[in-house]
Amino acid sequence: MTLFLLNVLLAVAWGALSGDFAPVNLFFGFALGYVILWISYRKMTQVTYFRRVFVVLEFLSFFLWELLIANIRVVIIVLSPRPKLRPAVIGIPLDIQEDAAITLLVNLITLTPGTLSLDVSTDRRMLYIHSIWVQDAETFRAHIKTGYERRVKELFQ
């Protein structure tokens, strides 16, 4: 059984023992199960689960921050009496090649306000993105590569 499933089982067991299956209580049970598993398995070879949890949490915090900043930028643009839009379509060379990773990257970019994934080239080496505000194409490209793509790549390693 994988450590993740064992952790979920411990969270459900915690909910059953406490008699409360509220999401907050199950989350607490999941966190408690994580600590128990970490103490139990830290000397064994199967430590990728513990590293992966931190990668997922870091990824979620990055994306939520990007989502917040993008929403603020779009609100400022929309509420400006004379918005200074700088729309552009930018090609981003892709390092990731797995279909699931590319799909996740494309969806994250599309979910971020002000950006839209237009197309992925047939050889899966280029992603085309439309953005409503691009000051510098290279800076935008670097932000996507070092922000989104790097973190998606870490999720799939």
Structure tokens at 140: 């935008």
pLDDT level of residue 53 (50, 70, 90 thresholds): confident
> Over the chain, what is the mean pLDDT?
88
Q: What was the pLDDT predicted at 47?
A: 59
* Confidence (pTM): 0.72
Q: What was the pLDDT predicted at 109?
A: 95
CA–centroid distance for 38 within its chain: 24
Least Cα distance to 4 among 16, 41, 23 occurs for: 41
Q: pLDDT per residue over 18-41, tens digit each?
A: 888 899 988 888 888 888 887 777
Share of the chain above pLDDT 70, in %: 94
Contacts of 54 (CB under 8 A, 6+ apart): none
Would the pLDDT of 85 be above 60?
A: yes
Q: What was the pLDDT predicted at 32?
A: 87
Q: What was the pLDDT predicted at 131?
A: 95
Contact 37, 10 (CB under 8 A): yes
Contacts of 84 (CB under 8 A, 6+ apart): none
- Look at 42 and 151; give whichever has higher pLDDT: 151
pLDDT level of residue 43 (50, 70, 90 thresholds): low
CA distance linking residue 147 with residue 157, whole number of Å: 16
Contact 9, 35 (CB under 8 A): no
Q: What was the pLDDT predicted at 10?
A: 85
CA–centroid distance for 17 within its chain: 33
Q: What was the pLDDT predicted at 42?
A: 66
Q: pLDDT per residue over 100-150, tens digit each?
A: 999 999 999 999 999 999 999 999 999 999 999 899 999 999 999 999 999
Name the residue ranges covered by the structural domains of the chain.
Answer: 3-46, 49-155
Least Cα distance to 33 among 74, 3, 58 occurs for: 3
Altogether, the residues listed in the chain come to a count of 157
Structure tokens at 133: 């505000």
